[in-house]
Amino acid sequence: MPVFSELIGQNEIKARLKGFCELSSGHAFIFVGPKGIGRHSFAKKFASVLLCSGPADSRPCGKCRSCICLREGSHPDYKEILPDSKSGIVKTDTVRKALVGDIGMMPQLSEMKVYFIDADSLNEQGQNVILKTLEEPPEYAVIILSVVSASAILQTVRSRAVLLKFGLYSSDEMKAILNSHGYVSDRMTEFYSVLSGGIPGVALRMIGEEGYGELRRETIGVAEKIPSAAYDKIFLDVLPFFLENKLYVTDIIRFLTSWFRDAAVMAKDKGSKLIVNTDQRGKLIEYCERNGNHDLKYMRCVTICDRCAADLELNAAFEICIGTMLLRIRKELSVNA
Ligand SMILES: [Zn+2]
């Protein structure tokens, strides 16, 4: 019986992968879920079970040559096809060489071969190359395509693969994951855990990376500035903050969303325990007093932020998206706008 118990949550996916391991059926999988949800960790664990040569009821054994090689990153039967570091895309040539040119050769160490493909930046040409392989895959090969959205994958490829969708983690699961990474529960880990929206990779990055406290403080400063800023100041004073921190824009929008959601809660009940920015209670009370105790307008700001995040995900023009978001928030909150 293969073991996935070390991984927290995603019980349905674990049950299905377990089923596939036992039956050795299914040759291609599409792992779908947001960045940081754990698609790669699950793929690696799935591969370790498939490749392990230990007793069938205790895979992965962690001790056989296969388990050791996989852990050390030198397993000849496990390949990762990743985007080119310069262009950021998975080159069609790489797919040809690492997958098509390799899959016909028998496994060297294990009974199977596993290919993990970071498919978000895999273009149509690259997917068509994979398609030919998926039409007649060798018995021993398993291909895992990993993407944020299933729509990134051609229908012809999708129809030949098993789609597994990763769900967001509950707060108890998030706590367990953060604990397993050595973070004890305190006010800040809980804050980032909620702010991440149930995505462990996001919470871990925010907790572990220096500078997030500062980024959050600056974002709160921006939220405070918007309602009273003159029209041109939005472009002169506020927009540059987003341009300078373009790489972190998703996190900045998360901070903003949490701020407005909290303002909506506080507008109705100053003593509410439901807010996320618990260390900013005083500032939030002032904010609501200054900009009006109307929960609905703060909720509309949340919607404006969500819309901006969704547009950016679809690669909409950065400055236009952010500029539009800022002006719409200003219009919502400003008495003079
Ligand atoms: Zn093993």
pLDDT single digits (tens) 67-120: 999 999 999 999 999 998 888 889 999 999 999 999 999 999 999 999 999 999
Instruction: State in Å: Cα 76 to ligand 1 middle.
Output: 14
Instruction: State in Å: Cα 179 to ligand 1 middle.
Output: 26
What is the Cα 170 distance to its own chain's centre?
15
The reported pLDDT for the residue numbered 26 is 65
Instruction: State in Å: Cα 12 to ligand 1 middle.
Output: 24
Instruction: State in Å: Cα 41 to ligand 1 middle.
Output: 17
Quick one: which of 126, 278, 299, 295 has its CA closest to 216?
A: 278
* pTM exceeds 0.75, yes or no: yes
What's at 101, amino acid-wise? G
Q: Which long-range contacts (CB under 8 A, 24 or more apart) does 131-136 make?
A: 131/156, 131/157, 131/160, 132/100, 133/99, 133/100, 133/103, 134/27, 134/28, 134/160, 134/161, 135/160
Instruction: State in Å: Cα 204 to ligand 1 middle.
Output: 29
Going by C-beta distance under 8 Å and a sequence separation of 6 or more, which residues neighbour residue 299?
260, 261, 264
Instruction: State in Å: Cα 115 to ligand 1 middle.
Output: 18
Instruction: State in Å: Cα 56 to ligand 1 middle.
Output: 9
Instruction: State in Å: Cα 53 to ligand 1 middle.
Output: 5
Residue 12 is encoded by which pair of tokens? 């349905």
What's at 120, amino acid-wise? D
Instruction: State in Å: Cα 165 to ligand 1 middle.
Output: 27
Instruction: State in Å: Cα 67 to ligand 1 middle.
Output: 4
Residue 289 is encoded by which pair of tokens? 């007093």
What is the Cα 244 distance to its own chain's centre?
22
Instruction: State in Å: Cα 110 to ligand 1 middle.
Output: 10
Instruction: State in Å: Cα 25 to ligand 1 middle.
Output: 20
The reported pLDDT for the residue numbered 188 is 78
- Domains of the chain in sequence order: 11-165 (3.40.50.300), 210-333 (1.20.272)
Residue for token digits 């219009």? 331
Instruction: State in Å: Cα 64 to ligand 1 middle.
Output: 4
Instruction: State in Å: Cα 66 to ligand 1 middle.
Output: 6
* Strands 162-165 and 113-118, bridge-based pairing: unpaired
As a whole number of Å, the end-to-end CA separation of the chain is 64
CB 176 within 8 A of CB 204: no
Cα dihedral 195, 198, 199, 204, rounded to 10, equals 60
3-state secondary structure of 162: strand
Segments of the chain scoring below 50 in pLDDT? 1, 337
The reported pLDDT for the residue numbered 25 is 66
3-state secondary structure of 32: strand
Instruction: State in Å: Cα 57 to ligand 1 middle.
Output: 11
Residue for token digits 């960045």? 35
Instruction: State in Å: Cα 20 to ligand 1 middle.
Output: 18
CB 252 within 8 A of CB 268: no
Q: What letter would DSSP give residue 122?
A: B
What is the Cα 143 distance to its own chain's centre?
21
Instruction: State in Å: Cα 62 to ligand 1 middle.
Output: 5
